[in-house]
């Protein structure tokens, strides 16, 4: 039986320990606004990595069923990703059939052979050079079968399993298009089945912010002949995601004024209402306090995309 080559290094052990500890400390907020923000970041990140013109405004509009000024291809790319992530709870990560189904959902309006393995040979790279020649198309079905056999029999930690699968999948490059998005989604799916909190962690957004290092880790793993560098990279990205303000444990307001604002804003309040409540006339000082509370993740805007909107209000995050 095929076993993907990799080494469990001290760095990997330490990262797993830190990630597990952080997961034990956090509880993803039940606020639907925060979940939506995370979802938008995830979708935008995984699309942008592929060079797709999908900013947060476009993704938000499509999520809300609004019209978007974009090409037909861009809209199809975004809609496919939205539908894929919306159905995350319906997939079995150990099922090869489900992986093909996921690809069909993602690419059905883009490829005529969505949900089918490629039948042509491909090279992977950037505009300047080919960095990886994927295995011949004739070998893809057997390679994917071997990978899923390993996935169904391994008892390794999900953090390792998901990273190994992600790398091996990208190495095989089984589809003519959509491999990056499916590989990242399948890692998220494996982790979601381990801890549901991963449905709301924008890991893909952090990958996009570290895109060069992401591809470098893939190339390095291919060069050394095992996925160890990629595992270390992905675990580091997951830990960084867990340490973002959106998911860190809530801080405690430092002074009485901040405490009053947080308590007062359990119901959405305008800046004027907050100023009157505090008896504060200095608008600049009030803005500094509100910005500080937002940075601490104690307060959120009800219209985050339009900070200066006259309809803007502030709401406590707990």
Tell me the domain boundaries of the chain: 29-242, 256-316
Annotated binding site: 124-132, 177-184, 214-215
What b/e readout covers 202-218, taking b as 16+ CB neighbours within 10 angstroms? bbbbbbbeeeeebbebb
**What dihedral do alpha carbons 62, 66, 70, 74 form, nearest 10°?**
20
pLDDT tops 70 at residue 247: no
173 counts as catalytic = yes
Q: Is 131 helix (H, G, I), strand (E, B) or coil?
A: strand
Spatial CA neighbour of 95 closest among 165, 47, 42 = 165
Record the pTM: 0.76
Cite the annotated binding site for ATP by residue number: 124-132, 177-184, 214-215
The tens digit of pLDDT for each residue in 140-178 reads: 999 999 999 999 999 999 999 999 999 999 999 999 999
Q: Between residues 303 and 29, which one has the greater pLDDT? A: 303
Lowest mean pLDDT among 59-73, 142-156, 162-176, 268-282: 59-73
Cβ-in-10-Å burial (0-12, 13-18, 19+) of 304 comes to middle
pLDDT, position 294: 86
Q: What CATH architecture is 29-242?
A: Orthogonal Bundle (1.10)
Task: For domain 256-316, give the CATH number.
Answer: 1.10.10
Closest-CA residue to 194 (of 13, 23, 25, 27): 23
> Measured between alpha carbons, how far is 221 from 167 in angstroms, rounded to an integer?
8
pLDDT tens-place string over residues 111-132 = 999 999 999 998 876 656 777 8
Instruction: Name which of 180-184, 263-267, 268-272, 280-284 the model is least confident about.
Output: 280-284
Q: What is the largest CA-CA distance in the chain?
A: 74
If you search the block for the tokens 């002949």, which residue do you land on? Answer: 225
- Overall average pLDDT of the 30-59 stretch: 81
Please tell me the predicted confidence (pLDDT) of residue 24.
Answer: 76
Under DSSP, is residue 116 helix (H, G, I), strand (E, B) or coil? coil
Pairwise CA distance, residues 208 & 210, whole Å: 5
213-228 pLDDT per residue, tens:
999 999 999 999 999 9
Beta bridge partners of 123: 133
Residue that has been written with the tokens 């300047």 in this structure: 128
Query: Which is catalytic among the residues 157, 166, 173, 285?
Result: 173
Residues 105, 87: contact at Cβ < 8 Å? yes
Q: Residue 231: enclosing H or E segment and its boundaries?
A: helix 228-242
According to the model, what pLDDT value does residue 293 have?
A: 87
DSSP code for 315: E
Burial of residue 230, with CB atoms counted within 10 A of its CB: 0-12 exposed, 13-18 middle, 19 or more buried: buried
């Amino acid at each position: 039986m095929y076993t993907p080559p990799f080494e469990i290094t001290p760095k990997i052990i330490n990262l797993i320990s830190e990630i597990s500890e952080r997961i034990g400390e956090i509880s993803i907020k039940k606020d639907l606004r925060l979940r939506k923000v995370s979802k938008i970041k995830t979708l935008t990140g995984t699309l942008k990595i592929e060079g797709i013109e999908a900013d947060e405004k476009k993704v938000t509009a499509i999520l809300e069923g609004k019209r978007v000024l974009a090409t037909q291809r861009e809209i199809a790319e975004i809609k496919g990703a939205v539908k894929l992530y919306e159905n995350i709870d319906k997939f079995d990560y150990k099922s090869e059939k489900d992986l093909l189904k996921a690809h069909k959902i993602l690419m059905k309006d883009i490829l005529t052979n969505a949900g089918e393995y490629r039948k042509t040979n491909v090279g992977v790279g950037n505009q300047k050079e080919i960095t990886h020649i994927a295995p011949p198309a004739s070998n893809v079905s057997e390679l994917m079968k071997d990978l899923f056999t390993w996935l169904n029999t391994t008892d390794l930690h999900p953090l390792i399993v998901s990273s190994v699968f992600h790398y091996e999948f990208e190495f095989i490059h089984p589809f003519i298009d959509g491999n990056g998005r499916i590989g990242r989604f399948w890692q998220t799916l494996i982790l979601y089945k381990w801890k549901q909190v991963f449905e709301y962690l924008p890991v893909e957004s952090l990958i996009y912010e570290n895109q060069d290092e992401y591809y470098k880790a893939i190339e390095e793993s291919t060069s050394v002949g095992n996925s160890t560098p990629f595992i270390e990279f992905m675990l580091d990205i997951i830990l960084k995601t867990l340490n973002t303000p959106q998911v860190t444990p809530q801080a405690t307001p430092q002074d009485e004024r901040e405490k009053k604002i947080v308590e007062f804003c359990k119901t959405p309040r305008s800046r004027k209402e907050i100023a009157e409540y505090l008896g504060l006339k200095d608008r600049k000082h009030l803005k500094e306090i509100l910005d500080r509370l937002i940075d601490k993740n104690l307060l959120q805007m009800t219209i985050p995309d339009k900070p200066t909107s006259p309809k803007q209000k502030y709401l406590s995050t707990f």
